[in-house]
Structure 1
Amino acid sequence: MKHLVVLSGAGISAESGIKTFRDADGLWEGYDVMEVASPIGWEKKPELVLKFYNDRRRQLLEVKPNTAHKTLKELEKNFKVSIITQNVDNLHERAGSKNVLHLHGELLKSRSTKNEKLIYDCDKDIMLGDKAEDGGQLRPHIVWFGEAVPEMHKAAKIVETADILLVIGTSLQVYPAASLIDYLPDGKPIYIIDPKRHEDRLLDHVHFIEDTACNGIKEFADLMSK
């Protein structure tokens, strides 16, 4: 069974109603991303950061996986599918995907500010004063701008074993995640589903499907069935 590795980004979740910020002017639902997604923002205004992620968490619990999420699950019938996602939502898991690696953390988890390995399931608001067992303030289990991406090594190892790479919902502009494409073995095919064609990554073995995630995944699945 061939190994299909999927790199997914905000575009796939946007079609479920989760808003992105990179298509606009650096604002995420009215917030400067550095205020709510950086260690400096956390140090200056922890209440604002917690409110921001509490709002995002509530929103996540109201939306559902879409056709793209569900089709990736269906592809497990014919492929070994590994999903490496930049998204912090759990829509891949809720669609039934078995192997999902979150590069940038998970919205439905919290962790201690003292020990980043103390991680807890979290489906409710986090408030100032909520403590981990080591006494550290709980914070969202999110990789903020300026922080290391601890799962990068594991993600690179997964890409190295791919027979096919599918990029969906991401423009490959966010590093270090965008560098994962460079770990694909030479000559292995890359399929990019994106309504905006980006020629800078154009190689002979790159196939563009210029469409949204939900529409493009149908064409990809048809190609894979031939």
Structure 2
Amino acid sequence: MCSNYDSVTSPERLRIYFGVDAPAGSIKGEVWPLYQAPFIRRHPHADVGDDAVPPREAMAGLFGMLPHWAGEVAFGRRTYNARSETVAEKPSYRDAWRNGQHCVIPVEHIYEPDWRSGVAVPTRIQRKDGKPMGIAGLWASNRKATGEEVLSFTMLTINADDHGLFKNFHRPEDEKRMVVILRDDQYDEWLDAPADRSMAFMQQYPAQLLMATPEPQRGRRRTGASPTSK
């Protein structure tokens, strides 16, 4: 389960690899739950037939899903990862899943704890080819928590007990999980997919295309966050 990552903040890399302009507003490079970071969704007017309207748009949103009914922003501390096995039923995610509110989260690196030495060693995971990762997610709009529109998003996860790389992370007794890393050619398909086709994207990204580097000095989030999905 991913609670810490480096977002793609370079306008050039967002244009080259995701075909979007950088979002308006302040975004973070190092991201923890409830930090504001970019996510990419289908442009709401993409189907009007106007060539001036781009097919995708990058928005700034909170890392941690705030469903429309959530009454406080702190709710997002528990909803930054959504289990694909239960996403269609969990109250926090089911409306976004049913409505096809898909997003791609542009990520340079994600960080996971490697416990094989007996202590947690923060480890950076990235693509070997140097390109950023596009992680499958869901987004939501909430007005109840603050009285103004707040956009937020969550990353989808799958089982990784048999994955060549992600099986090495988290405590030995814990189930191994990994985020859903999309292939470059899947971005538009994922953004357009209805609920009944969404599970087809819940696949492991090949371990041989990824690399992991220990980064023991990586800053820790002082307040902590529990990777539970409500």
TM over 0.5: no
Task: Please report the TM-score for the alignment, with normalisation by the length of structure 2.
Answer: 0.28
Larger Rg: 1
Q: Name the structure with the higher strand share.
A: 2
Task: Please report the TM-score for the alignment, with normalisation by the length of structure 1.
Answer: 0.29
Q: Name the structure with the higher helix share.
A: 1
